[in-house]
Structure 1
Amino acid sequence: MYETINRNVSRYVRFTDEELGIFNSLLKLQSVHKKTILLHEGEKCNFEAFVIKGCLRKYYIDPDGTELIIQFGVEDSWIGDISFSIYDPKPSRVFIETIEDSELFTMSPDDKEELYRRVPKFERVFRILMQRNLAVTQDRLFASISKSASQKYLEFLEQYPSLPQRVPQHYIASYLGISPEFLSKVRKKLAHR
Structure 2
Amino acid sequence: MYEAILKNLQRHIEPTKEETELFLSLAVLKTFKRKELLLKEGDVARQQCFVINGCLRTFTIDANGKEHVLMFAPEDWWCSGDLYSFLSGQESVNNLEALEPTTLLQISKDNLDVLFQQAPKFERFFRILFQNAFVFHQTRISANLSQPADGRYELFTRSYPDLESRIPQKYIASYIGVTPEFFSQMKANLLRKKS
TM-score calculated relative to the size of structure 1: 0.96
Classify the secondary structure of the residue corresponding to 1:75. coil
Following superposition, the deviation at residue 162 of structure 1 comes to 2.1
What are the Cα deviations for residues 82-119 of structure 1, in whole angstroms up to 9, with x where unaligned? 1113xx41011000000100000001111101100110
**Partner residue in 1 for 2:122:** 122
Query: Secondary structure at the residue paired with 1:76?
Result: coil
- Tell me the residue number matched to 1:76: 76
Q: How many residues align?
A: 191
* 1:76 CA drift (Å): 0.2
- Which position in structure 2 is the counterpart of 1:110? 110
Runs of 4+ in 1 over 6 A off after TM superposition: none
Tell me, which stretches of 5 or more residues in structure 1 are unaligned? none
Aligned to 1:192: 192
The DSSP-based 3-state class of the residue aligned with 1:24 is helix
1:161 CA displacement: 2.1
Structure 2 Cα separation of the partners of residues 24 and 143 of structure 1: 37
Per-residue CA shift, 1:9-42, capped at 9, x if unaligned?
A: 1111121111111111111001111110011100
Alignment partner, residue 20 of structure 2: 20
Whole-Å separation in 2 of the counterparts to 1:159 and 1:41: 25
Matched with 1:135 is 135
Question: In the aligned structure 2, how far is the partner of 1:48 from the partner of 1:3?
Answer: 18
2:64 and 2:74 mapped to 1: Cα distance?
28
Give the 3-state SS of the residue equivalent to 2:86 in structure 1: coil
Deviation at 1:185, TM superposition (A): 1.5
Q: 1: CA distance between counterparts of 2:35 and 2:146?
A: 33
% of aligned pairs identical? 40
Query: Secondary structure of the residue that 1:129 maps to in structure 2?
Result: helix
Look up the equivalent residue of 1:65 and give its one-letter code.
G
In structure 1, distance between residues paired with 2:36 and 2:68? 17
Deviates more, 1:133-142 or 1:7-16: 7-16
Please, what is the CA RMSD of the aligned residues? 1.0
Cα deviation, residue 174, structure 1: 0.6
**For 2:160 and 2:121, how far apart are their aligned partners in 1?**
30
Q: Does 1:65 align with 2:40?
A: no
